[in-house]
Chain A
C-alpha cells in the first residue's frame, strides 16, 4: 500500500535487525529472514520491490538466491550486501542482474542513494504502465447480470441507495463488478446528468497521485507545463468512484479526509481554494477493518466512507448465474469476433459450475473471450476453456486445481451422504458429470 516493500536476507540476526529497524524508520515496509531458503518461502506468498541480500550465507548462497529471484521476477531489485569487500563475488552478482552492492557496514548515505535510485526506477516503470493503460480502449459493453437471490439483493440495494446521495462503500473480491455497481448507483441518482469519474487508487503510482486527484498549477513542478484539473475537480456535480481505496497511501488518506470534511481543496502549487460538490463511492477488495488494525488505513477516513456499505457476491456464491452470464459473454464475443459460435456444451457448462472462479466475473469474461477465439465449431467445448490449461491448474498456494476440486466434491458428497442426485444439484452439474468426476479423481466412497 503505497510504501515500498523490502525484504532483508541475512543470516546474522544483529545485522538484519539493525538494517530493518533503520529502513522501517525510513518509511518502508520491511520484513527480515535469516536464510536463502526462508527468503524463497517468503517470496511465494508476498511480492517485494527490493531485496537486500547478504552474499555469504549457509545453505542457498546470496548469489544463488539472486539468480532464482531474478528468474521468477526480473522486476525485483536485488542489492547484495558483502562483508569482506569480496569484489569478485559482487561483480559476479552484478552480471547476474543485481541492482548494486554495498560493503558492510555501509554509509547511511550510500544506502539511501541506492534505495532512492531503485524507487525512482520502479516509479518510472509504473508510470509507463499507468500511462499506457490509461489510453487503452475501455468501450466494452458492460452490465450487471444475475437472477440469483444474491444479485437481486444487490439490485434492490442499488435502487434504494442511489437517490439518497450518501457516500457508499462497496466491498467484494476482485472481478465481482464493484465498478459496475458504482456506475449503476450513479445512473440511478439525481446526479446522473453529471460526470462519473473513476480513480483507480491501486493503479496510479504514488508520486502521481496528488496531481491526479487534485490537479496542479502551471509551474508547480518541473513537468507541470500547463495548469491541469484533477479528477476531483472533474467530478464536480457528479460522482467520484475511488476504486481500490484500500491501496491509497497515508498522505493521500489525510488529504482525502480533509476534502471530504470541508469540500474544499487546493491544486498542487495552487493557492486558490477550489470548492467541489460530488458524491463519493469507494470500493475495495481489502478488509479495511484489518488495515485499520495494522495502522495502514485511517479510522476517521473509514467512517467517512462507510456511511452505507454493501458487498458484491463472489461468482461462486451465485453459481446459478454462471450459465446466464456465460451466454451473455458468448453473444458479445461472437459478435465482436464475427465467429458463428452460439452454444456452450453441457460439459463445458458443468466445468464452469465446478470451477471456483477466484477472479470472478472478470475471469469468466476472459475465459469466454478465449473460448470463442479458439473454438473450432459452433459450440464451446470444455477444452476451449482456459480452466483446462495446465498452467492454470497450479494455484498460487501450490495446490493444484484438481486437488481443490476433488476436496470440494468430496465435501459436498459427504454432506449429502453420497446421494448423487442431491450432490449434483448442489454442485450445479449433471449427474453423469458427477459420476465421471468421481471416477476420474478416484474419490473413495466411505464405507
Chain B
C-alpha cells in the first residue's frame, strides 16, 4: 500500500473512476482546506456493506473500514458509484464521521437530471461540493442554516446546484477553530515538529 505523506487528505475512489474528476476534486479540496491531497484506492469494493434486501450499501460500515485503512492521512473521503443508505433512511448522498477521519460520497444520485454526455462540468461541480461538505463534517462542522453555505444540508440535487462551494463566515470560524485544535494536538504529540 502506498503511504501518503502526513497532513494530506486521501481521496479514495472505489470501482471505475474518472481520473479527470478525481483530479478536480483533489484540487478543490486543497484550495478549501489547505491540505495536500492524494488519490489512493483503499478499498477494492464495498460488497461487505451490501444489504441484499435493500440492494443498497450501508455507509456507516464502509466508514469504519476506511478509517482503519488510512492511518497516515489526516482525513479520507471515499467516492463510490453505488447507492448508499443508513438503516433509518431510504438513501443518502453521503455520510461522515463527525470530527472523525472518514467520510464517503456516492455519485449514484448526483447524475440525476443530467444526460451522461451533456455538461460534465455541471456534474463535476456536484461531486466536488458533496466531497467538501462531507469533509466539513470530519472537521466537526454540522449543518448550517445559511442556504448558500457549503454546510447547508441539501435534500435534493437541485439544492446542491443552488448551494455555493464556500463556507459562510460562521462555518469558516468554526473550521479555523478545528484546524487550530488539530495543529495543537499534532504539535503536542510530536514535539519535534
Contacts and interface: CB of A to CB of B under 8 A. Distances in A.
A435 interface: no
Interface stretch (B17-25, B32-40, B80-88, B113-121): B80-88
B190 interface: no
Interface string A247-266: 00011001000000000000
Nearest to B137: A25
Contact of A27 (B86, B91, B143, B173): B143
A291 to B, nearest CB: 15
A432 to B, nearest CB: 61
B111 interface: no
Nearest to A3: B142
Report the interface size class on chain A: 20 to 34
A111 B89 contact: yes
Interface in A94-141: 104-109, 111-112
A108 B92 contact: yes
B153 A105 contact: no
A24 B85 CA distance: 17
Interface in B94-128: 96, 98
Contacts of A24: 98, 142
A184 interface: no
A14 B61 CA distance: 12
B186 interface: no
Given A250-B174, A254-B170, A26 B153 contact: yes
B86 A25 contact: no
B188 interface: no
B60 interface: yes
A15 interface: yes
B158 to A, nearest CB: 11
Given A25-B143, A250-B170, A251-B170, A108 B98 contact: no
Given A109-B156, A254-B170, A254-B173, A25 B91 contact: no
The secondary structure that dominates the B interface is loop
A237 to B, nearest CB: 28
A105 B91 CA distance: 9
Interface string A5-34: 000000000110011011011110000000
Contacts of A105: 85, 87-90
Interface centre among B85, B137, B143 (most CB of A within 10 A): B143
Contacts of A22: 86, 88-89
Interface residues of B, number: 23
A250 B173 CA distance: 11
Interface string B6-50: 000000000000000000000000000000000000000000000
Nearest to B99: A295
Interface centre among B88, B89, B156, B169 (most CB of A within 10 A): B88
Contacts of B60: 18, 21
A146 B93 CA distance: 62
Nearest to A26: B143
Contacts of A18: 60, 86-89
A25 B90 contact: no
B156 A104 contact: no
A108 B145 CA distance: 16
A51 to B, nearest CB: 15
Given A25-B137, A251-B170, A104 B88 contact: yes
Contacts of B174: 250, 254
B181 to A, nearest CB: 10
A112 B174 CA distance: 24
Interface of A: 14-15, 18-19, 21-22, 24-27, 104-109, 111-112, 250-251, 254
Given A21-B98, A106-B90, 5 more contacts: A22-B86, A25-B142, A26-B143, A27-B143, A105-B90
11 contacts: A15-B87, A15-B88, A19-B88, A21-B98, A105-B87, A105-B89, A108-B90, A108-B92, A112-B155, A250-B174, A254-B169
